[in-house]
Every structure is written in C-alpha cells, then in structure tokens.
Chain A
C-alpha cells in the first residue's frame, strides 16, 4: 500500500507551529481508527450494532464483527438492503453503523438513504471508507468524488470528513452520541496526524489552526495535512496563509467562516472530492450570500478519476501543496 506520506516531497515537518502539541506518530488510515473505535464503543454500548456489505475487512467493521457476532450483520453485496435494515434496527432503539465503500454506500443506496434514513429521520450512522481519489489503483469505479455532494443535499443529514486517525476516533464517538443521520467519510490510505493531542471533535465546529491575513485554506480530510504544507511554503515566501479544518461539512461552521472571511481577503477550499457540491460548493454558497470574498476551489474538476498510486493521482488531479501554493499566488 502506498502511503500518502511517502508521496509528498514537500513534507518536512508534520507538526504545525500554531497548533497545540502533536505527538509524533506513524501515519494511519482513518478506516483503521474507525474499526478500533467501533470495537471500543461496542464494548461500552450494547445498543451499537454494525452492518457491512461484504467489505468488512476493508472497512474494518470486521473487528467489531469478531467480538460481537450477534450484533453484526453482513448483508452480502446488497447496499440498498443494508441501509433499509439499518433503518429498521434504528427504529428498535439500536444505533446501527452501516459501512461499505463510499461509492456504493452513497451512490447505490441514495434513494434508501433519502427515504428510510433522512426523511424518516432514523438514527443511522453511515460510515463509508475509500472516499476520494486516494483509493488509488482500483480506479474511477471505486473512487467516490461525489459522495459529499450526494449526502449534503439531503435534509437531516450531518456530513463529517475527519482529517486524521485521532479526529476519526473522536468523531466516531461523537457520532454515536448524536441523535440522527450522519455520514462519515473515511479514506483507504494512511494519513499523517495533524490534529493536536488535546483536540476533541465537536459536530459542526471547525478547527482553526490559524487565520491568514492574506489567505486562509479551508480544508477537509487528507487535504488538511496538504493545506498545512502549502501554508508553510507560502510563509517562506512572505504570504500569511491560514488553515482551517472544516471536518463537519454539514452543518457548516458559519461563524468560523465569517470570521475567516472578515480577515482573509482570499479563501481557498481544498478537498479530495469534486469541486461541485462538496466543501468548496458549501463555502461558496454560504459566503456569496453572507460575506462575498474571492474563493478558489481545489478539488477534482468535474471529471472521473483513474488508476494510479495515491501520490500520483493527487498530482494528476491538482491536489498537492504545490497546486494550492500556485492557486494562492495566482489569486492574490
């Protein structure tokens, strides 16, 4: 497996000067943190159940399955049925976590999510792995680049994209306590730790590393790390660039966004998703109505992905720190 860390030449110092302390740890995939956290939650909470659609080894729900076979339901390759069954379990007071790859979770079962989860407001937790282009070699059929847009459009749905393994653990615990539908998007590849040790995820609350006088990069998922690298490079060139981790994409942290827009003349959004309908779309929608500033969107530009190593693909689709730096310099 290719690790993102190895593919980023710019990666020099993963520790952000303006954030709290981060213990040096080896990069870890957010899906691994999910599997561990779900297992821990399962031990404490008998109401938690898990479902998967024949990908439990990859989504890491297998850990929970081994420990709690009676509370785990493998639904086979049947995502629509998985979502409906999860809704039914939620209706009897269970807290179901339903997992598969992001493409299948959100695309194949969208109508089921819309009706049986969101419209019915059932307490279903959709935790999908393999979001984004860094799925890598499996190619476009498996790279969800539209999942955030699909989930964000649904009333009652909360959308969370954690930046690293520690934020994932914290977010999964918060999600288990939250009442109502949630979509959590996780990745396949290992990602460096970016969040301070003492950070805890709060739904709807962005984490501000720094608000830049010249520009602030609003990022989510693996792009938070990449945005920080870009900010360091920009700092070296005398440009004050801030970074915000907008891990809850819905509901958007409007207060923080306004604060950023009031200080930074330029906002750059960065996401491992289509520039249509995801984080960039949300930020543009909100700011254009409430505090118009120039926004540039870093993301996949209305195209499908392709096979390749995660690192190569980030370059090919313009998602590197260098791409962010260039966009900033061209827009300032």
Chain B
C-alpha cells in the first residue's frame, strides 16, 4: 500500500510478493462474485504488477493527477486484475473487492471509468483500448507532458481489425510514449488462438506495422522489467511487448484450461489455489 508517485519498486522479490497477493485477491473476488474471468486475469498479472509498481507514476489520492502515467486494460474482462492492483495500490479499501459484480458496486464486471476513479476508460468490448491509448499519448505529447501510456491486450483480441488500425496510427504519428503489451496466452474462448483464428507470425506483424517488438517470458519478472525499461529508450516509434504467458498462471488446475476463461473458482478450488500460490 502507499502513494506510488516515486520510489518505484525494483526489487524482484518484492514485485513477486505483490503479484502473489494480487493473484490471491483476484481469486478471492471472483470466488465471492461467483462469476468472472479467471484465466486471463491470472495470465497478465505479472506484467500488470510490474507496470504499476515498477514503472508507473500515479497517486491513488488524486486519480486524475495530470502527471500520472496512464494504463488501459484493453482486455477489459481481466477487470479483477486491475481491481486487485488498485486495491494493492490503495485506490480503495481492500474489502471493496468483495463487491465485485454486485449491484451498485464501482467494481463492474468490466471496468467502468465513470464509476471508478483511476480507471481511465471503460473497456469490455475488445479491440478498442489501443486507439484510446494512442489518443491519450497524442494529447500528452501536445501538452509536453512526459507521462507514458500502457495498454494490455489479449492475443485473441488482436483479431479485431481496430487493433491494426491503431497499430498503424501509433507508427504513423511516431507515438513513442506508449508501451503496449499482448498477453500471449495462446487461448481465447472457443479454444487455442491458432485454431480459432491464427495470429502468427505476431512478432513480424507488429514489426511490419512499424513497432519496436520485444518477445519475453511474461512470468519472468526480470525479463518484464528489462522490456519495460527498453521501451522507454525507444524513440520515434511505439513499443510492444509480446508477453508469452500461461492462461490461469499460478494455479496448476487452471493453467492452460480453456474452460477457465470465464468461470470463477468454487470455494474449494479457491482454498486449494491459495495454498498453491503460498507454497510457490
């Protein structure tokens, strides 16, 4: 907990500890809600934790602070992930996560910027976040504001045409204050991405669109930190991290299971999962 405006965390073990906590909170809120997206929240957890706690400037006490870095969860169904991170960062009391998906809660099934300060833009209809991130990056640049913009997309999500429209835009306008991430977990709802609608060669596609592309193990904290650092040094073009991840990461019986895309843990699964995460 704390105001994350300076003194970013670079200690790998501390980041891993936060990621464990975030995973447990994701599972906790999903279990209480009884519905929601487990697999994709867990797969992107390490990258999102690293972005928030090792790089981003923000102030939970003043969510619209002008100098903050911006984060867009384009894959909005991973809402539990961003809520767990926001709870960790101190945007709201940790027990707020128990209201996930309940009537009247600011923690909607998919992120809602009008209800939850700290969420920059509402998402949930896939494919839209990168465009919004570009717009923010352009606006910041016009103002001479050095803040940066982060955007996490799913690998199924990049099947949306709008993603490639936005990919062109970022390169055309030489937007270098953006760092996008593809959570490359290999699965979408109807099965493996390569079976449903192949996206490979993903690296080459982004490179051909004019992006600086970095392929990493999206669960290796050191690799994540290195890539995020590298992105800040790239000038004149946008950067993207292809984070190779495991859907359901951290809980053996959820890992690589297409069924756990949109299913919450049962109480019993939750207990077993927490034990696994603690013992890891």
A84/B131 contact (C-beta < 8 A), A78-B165, A94-B139 known: yes
A116 CB contact (under 8 Å) in B122, B145, B168: B122
A92/B125 contact (C-beta < 8 A), A71-B142, A80-B131, A80-B162 known: no
A85/B138 contact (C-beta < 8 A), A73-B173, A91-B132 known: yes
A80/B140 contact (C-beta < 8 A), A119-B112, A120-B121 known: no
The B interface, classified by DSSP as helix, strand, loop or mixed, is helix
Q: How many A-B residue pairs have CB under 8 A?
A: 114
Report the separation of the CA atoms of residues A89 and B131 in the bound assembly, to the nearest whole angstrom. 10
Interface string of B172-204 (1 = CB under 8 A from A): 110000000000000000000000000000000
Interface centre among A49, A111, A116 (most CB of B within 10 A): A116
B152 to chain A, nearest CB (A): 15
Report the separation of the CA atoms of residues A85 and B122 in the bound assembly, to the nearest whole angstrom. 14
The residue on A at minimum CB distance from B113 is A120
A85 CB contact (under 8 Å) in B70, B127, B134: B134
CB within 8 Å of B: which A73-118 residues = 73, 75-76, 78, 80-94, 96, 111-112, 114-116
Report the separation of the CA atoms of residues A120 and B145 in the bound assembly, to the nearest whole angstrom. 23
Interface string of B113-137 (1 = CB under 8 A from A): 1100000111111011111111111
* A121 lies within 8 A of chain B by Cβ: yes
B7 to chain A, nearest CB (A): 26
The residue on B at minimum CB distance from A81 is B165
Report the separation of the CA atoms of residues A91 and B161 in the bound assembly, to the nearest whole angstrom. 23
B121 to chain A, nearest CB (A): 5
The A interface, classified by DSSP as helix, strand, loop or mixed, is helix
The residue on B at minimum CB distance from A90 is B135
Flag if A115 contacts B139 (CB, 8 Å). Answer: no
B162 CB contact (under 8 Å) in A84, A92, A119, A122: A84
Flag if A116 contacts B142 (CB, 8 Å). Answer: no
List residues of chain A with CB under 8 Å of any chain B CB: 49, 70-71, 73, 75-76, 78, 80-94, 96, 111-112, 114-116, 119-122
Q: A88-B138, A93-B139, A120-B114 are in contact. List 4 more A-B contacts (CB 8 A).
A: A49-B139, A84-B166, A88-B121, A88-B131
List residues of chain B with CB under 8 Å of any chain A CB: 70, 112-114, 120-125, 127-140, 142-143, 145, 161-162, 165-166, 168-169, 172-173
